[in-house]
Amino acid sequence: MSRKYWILLGVVGVLVGLDQVTKYWIMSIYRIGETLPVIPGVFNITYVRNTGAAFSFMANADPAFRIPFFLVLPLGALAGIGYVFRKTPETNRLLIWGLSLTVAGAIGNLIDRVIFESVTDFLHFHWWSRYHFPMFNVADIAICVGVGLLLLDLMKKEVKTPSPAK
């Protein structure tokens, strides 16, 4: 098996495991809505269930649409990522890591959706009671970092592409 597949398996194994362990820990210790200030005025651990996507997108949509949508969409995305991953050269480490992180995050949140029809979020950053960043979890971090690496890879390619002569 080539090195890129070892990276994929390692990243997915570690991050899906960490994501599921942290979510299980939160669910076993906290009640929904319960919060623990870690850094007062800045960071709390707060247990919430997110029925939507990032930033609670579509959280209030009709469950008859929302639930199948959030099960089918990640499966389609994983299939597309799998195709791109297979075509990615071994030398493109940035793309390999970006895709691997994105896959790990997608799988972590998909597991929640299959089991609970929602995602467990618990990391809550805020500035006192005025500004609140949407709550998130380990899988969300993996997706964000993965997409960031994919964007860096895309920008790297844009810089290397010569502009057409006029």
Active-site position among 19, 62, 112, 140:
140
Chain-centroid distance of CA 143 in Å reads 3
Q: Is 19 a catalytic residue?
A: no
| Straight-line distance from the first to the last Cα atom of the chain, in angstroms, rounded to the nearest whole number | 46
Chain-centroid distance of CA 1 in Å reads 26
The answer to whether residues 83 and 161 touch, using CB atoms and an 8 Å cutoff, is no
Tokens, residue 137: 């979890």
Question: Of all helices (H) and strands (E), which one includes residue 28?
Answer: helix 3-29
Q: Is 140 a catalytic residue?
A: yes
Q: Which residues are part of the catalytic machinery? A: 121, 140
